[in-house]
Amino acid sequence: MRWSSARGADHDGKPGVTVKIYIPGDAASLSVGAEEVERAMAREIAVRKLDATIVRNGSRGLFWLEPLVEVETPKGRVAYGPVEAEDVPGLLDAGMLDGKGHRLSLGLTEQIPFLKRQTRLTFARCGVTDPLSLDDYRAHGGWRGLERALALAPQAIVEEVVASGLRGRGGAGFPTGIKWRTVLGAVSEQKYIVCNADEGDSGTYADRMLMEGDPFVLIEGMAIAGIAVGATKGFIYVRSEYPHAFRTLGRAIRIARLNGWLGARVAGSGKAFDLEVRLGAGAYICGEETSLLESLEGKRGQIRPKPPLPALKGLFGQPTVVNNVLSLATVPIILDKGATFYRDFGMGRSRGTLPIQLAGNIKQGGLVEVAFGLTLRQAIEEFGGGTASGRPIRAVQVGGPLGAYFPQELLDTPLDYEAFAAQRGLLGHGGVVVFDDTVDLAHQARFAMEFCAIESCGKCTPCRIGSTRGVETIDRIVAGTERAKNLAVLEDLCDLMLDASLCALGGLTPYPVLSALKHFPEDFHKPAPRLAPAAE
Ligand SMILES: Cc1cc2nc3c(=O)[nH]c(=O)nc-3n(C[C@H](O)[C@H](O)[C@H](O)COP(=O)(O)O)c2cc1C
Ligand code: SF4
């Protein structure tokens, strides 16, 4: 979006050079004042009659530096941040439009170590381009994957995705191409592509960043999926807490349709594919794929037993691909550059790159896209800069509210699906939440059970009743009531939930609880809190 442009004498007396200033318009930047910065900048441009234009880009994912303002110079884009509205006149006085120094200068954006050490494949354009400019999208490699897909047979597209080794980024890590193969093989008049943009895991925001910063890549990925499996219709299910992403996607879909990238003849081909975006109702369980499908059909978000798989009997009973935002948004680069290019990144069976989201008690929170295999410690220390409090790290939860708590001794685990599973952990959607040494893991274990009790869809007993009993049992342990007996009850209850829950909400809640018990037993054996004496 280009919001304002004022022309006249140029910033350095040179005529005819319109300088581009980038101010992010995504939700994270808006929450720390990007709108005020944009208004201040537009005002100064008008008053000073500068030949400059403001572009509202997405976030680069360096959240501690937001609002991160960039200016295009002959040497490349130069960054300043975090910028407040009152900094704007001083920045312009210091020669910001020529990339000159200021106390907020960060130098060339691409040379900022946090960014320079990343391998941005899925997020290649995020923060770089104007999210709703088709020209920008095209100029930065957009639509090439779709164009190649249109020249291939459906089977060949699916096999390219299989060969890339791409695994679902929503949590379970299931191979994307294999899922597509099942849907391609299903015989039906109508098939669907459903994008899971419910992103409910604690500490995660990669889906939102991408939908707000590069929506066309998701549209392109979904169109490729549709053409590959023979689906003509797609839905993006966006969580209700993401109004900016919802709006941006709606606009992007309209622009793509008007320009022939969606509709009855995708890119002038004989293939049809169109999209709708739907807002969820705000339940964690609606992120689980069968519950999401119920919700999309207008029903209460409750789990459907599997089988049948959604790939065979999904939305409105038809064969359906359900994939996470990042899985679908990674497909265009795979089709464009080839499966081998993508699978050359990574380790073991975890191929390509993982967008890690650093959150919690962390100095430099933000998005880090790197090849699988970086250790958790490297992510936290080399990118995150350690804790925000400056205190030692005590625990790290990876994979959302159902992920295990890792102690210091496990921080050298590589970010890889199998390595995490071997430690009874979960890579999930790549959320990393850091805690310092003030955290109480008995409290966190209670939180996990309470979260499950609140979010349970209620369909099966181990989860619906078990989570409530779990909260009560942890309360008794913390209160010092028959500790040994209640610890045994808690472990027993966790075993039951692991084995007998119908879906992974109840089935994985024991992970944070058992990891807290295993790695931080001392927190369950503290002296019981004393009751305050009653007032006389
Ligand atoms: C309780 C629960 C919540 C989930 N939430 C999400 C979510 O917010 N986003 C997501 O993509 N997958 C979520 N999943 C995983 C989905 O069920 C499903 O595996 C995924 O959408 C498949 O896409 P993928 O193969 O591309 O990962 C959740 C699973 C469970 C059990
Ligand atoms: S485990 Fe919980 S959320 Fe899943 S089906 Fe059972 S009650 Fe519902």
Residue owning the nearest CA to atom 31 of ligand 1:
504
Domain layout of the chain by residue ranges = 5-116, 134-343, 347-436, 441-524
Give, using CA atoms, the residue closest to atom 6 of ligand 2: 460
369 forms beta bridges with 355
Nearest CA to ligand 1 atom 19: 172
pLDDT at 531: 61
**Residue 267, phi then psi, degrees to nearest 5:** 50, 35
Helix-helix angle 154-164:176-185, to 10 degrees: 160
- Take residue 219 and report the two structure tokens written for it: 């549209």
Tell me, in angstroms, the distance from the centre of ligand 2 to residue 246's CA: 28
Q: Which ligand 1 atom is nearest residue 172's CA? A: 19
For residue 471, give Cα distances in angstroms to 401, 456, 504, 510: 15, 14, 18, 12
DSSP single-letter state for residue 53: E
Question: Which ligand sits nearest to residue 463's alpha carbon?
Answer: 2
Residue 398 CA to ligand 1 center (angstroms) comes to 15
Instruction: Calculate how far, in angstroms, residue 155's C-alpha sits from the geometric centre of ligand 1.
Output: 25
Locate tokens 């770089």: which residue?
128
Does 199 contact ligand 1 (Cβ within 6 A)?
Answer: yes
pLDDT for 16 equals 63
Out of 3.30.300.30, 3.40.50.800, 3.40.50.11540, 3.10.105.10, the CATH code matching 134-343 is 3.40.50.11540
Which numbered ligand comes closest to the C-alpha of 500?
A: 2
What's residue 17's pLDDT? 75
Cβ atoms 446, 474 nearer than 8 A: yes
Q: Report the separation in Å between the CA atom of 251 and the middle of ligand 1, taken as the mean of its atom positions.
A: 25
Kindly list the protein residues whose Cβ atom lies closer than 6 A to any atom of ligand 2: 285, 303, 456-460, 463-464, 501-503, 505-506
How far is the centre of ligand 1, averaged over its atoms, from the C-alpha of 32 (Å)?
Answer: 29
CA dist., res. 379 & res. 385, Å (int): 9
Which residue owns the Cα nearest ligand 1 atom 10?
Answer: 170
Residues 111, 11: Cα–Cα separation, whole Å: 25
Contacts of 462 by beta carbon, 8 Å cutoff, 6+ apart:
496, 497, 500, 501, 506
CA 509 to ligand 2 center in whole angstroms: 11
Instruction: Kindly give the distance from the C-alpha atom of residue 390 to the centroid of ligand 2, in angstroms, as a whole number.
Output: 39
Residue 504, ligand 1, Cβ within 6 A: yes
Among all bound ligands, the one having the nearest atom to the CA of 507 is: 2
Average pLDDT over the chain, rounded to an integer: 95
Ligand 1 neighbour 505 (Cβ under 6 A): yes
Q: Is 322 in the pocket of ligand 1 (CB under 6 A)?
A: yes
Q: Ligand 2 pocket test: which of 198, 284, 285 has the largest number of ligand atoms within 8 Å of its C-beta?
A: 285
How remote is the CA of residue 252 from the centroid of ligand 1, in Å?
Answer: 24
Topology of domain 5-116, CATH: Glutaredoxin (3.40.30)
Question: What are the φ and ψ backbone dihedral angles of 488, each rounded to 5 degrees?
Answer: -65, -40
d(CA 142, CA 124): 11
CA of 289 to the centre of ligand 1 (A): 6
- Find the ligand nearest to 289 CA: 1
At 356, give phi and psi (nearest 5°): -90, 140
Write the CATH number of the domain with boundaries 441-524. Answer: 1.20.1440.230
Place of tokens 């795979």: 334
Ligand with smallest separation from the Cα of 504 = 1
Q: Find the ligand nearest to 225 CA.
A: 1
Q: Is 306 in the pocket of ligand 1 (CB under 6 A)?
A: no
Q: Whose CA is nearest to atom 1 of ligand 2?
A: 506
Q: Which ligand is nearest to the CA of 427?
A: 1
Q: Which atom of ligand 2 is nearest to the CA of 458?
A: 7
Ligand 2 centroid–CA 282 distance in Å is: 16
Ligand at minimal distance from the CA of 302 is 2
Closest C-alpha residue for ligand 2 atom 8: 457
* DSSP secondary structure of 201-258: STT--HHHHHHHH-HHHHHHHHHHHHHHHT--EEEEEE-TT-HHHHHHHHHHHHHHHH
Which pLDDT score is estimated for 269? 97
Closest listed residue to residue 526, CA positions, set 477, 455, 461, 459: 477
pTM of structure = 0.95
pLDDT for the residue 536:
44
- Beta-carbon contacts of 248 under 8 Å, excluding residues fewer than 6 positions away, are 131, 132, 211, 212, 215
One digit per residue, pLDDT tens: the chain, 536 residues?
444 443 333 444 455 679 999 999 999 999 999 999 999 999 999 999 999 999 999 999 999 999 999 999 999 999 999 999 999 999 999 999 999 999 999 999 999 999 999 999 999 999 999 999 999 999 999 999 999 999 999 999 999 999 999 999 999 999 999 999 999 999 999 999 999 999 999 999 999 999 999 999 999 999 999 999 999 999 999 999 999 999 999 999 999 999 999 999 999 999 999 999 999 988 999 999 999 999 999 999 999 999 999 999 999 999 999 999 999 999 999 999 999 999 999 999 999 999 999 999 999 999 999 999 999 999 999 999 999 999 999 999 999 999 999 999 999 999 999 999 999 999 999 999 999 999 999 999 999 999 999 999 999 999 999 999 999 999 999 999 999 999 999 999 999 999 999 999 999 999 999 999 999 999 999 887 766 665 54
Q: At 471, which helix (H) or strand (E)?
A: helix 466-479
CA distance 317 to 458: 23
Ligand 1 neighbour 388 (Cβ under 6 A): no
pLDDT attached to residue 528 = 78
Nearest ligand 2 atom to the CA of 507 is 1
SS3 content of the chain, % helix, strand, coil (to 5): 45, 15, 40
What is the bridge-based pairing of β-strands 233-238 and 274-279? parallel
Nearest ligand 2 atom, CA 463: 2
Cβ contacts of residue 191 below 8 Å, gap of 6+? 183, 229, 230, 231, 232, 318, 319, 320, 321
- Compute, in angstroms, the gap from residue 473 CA to the centroid of ligand 1: 29
Q: Which pair of structure tokens corresponds to residue 510?
A: 């024991």
Ligand 2 pocket test: pick from 291, 302, 464 the residue with the most ligand atoms within 8 Å of its Cβ.
Answer: 464
CATH node for 347-436: 3.10.20.600
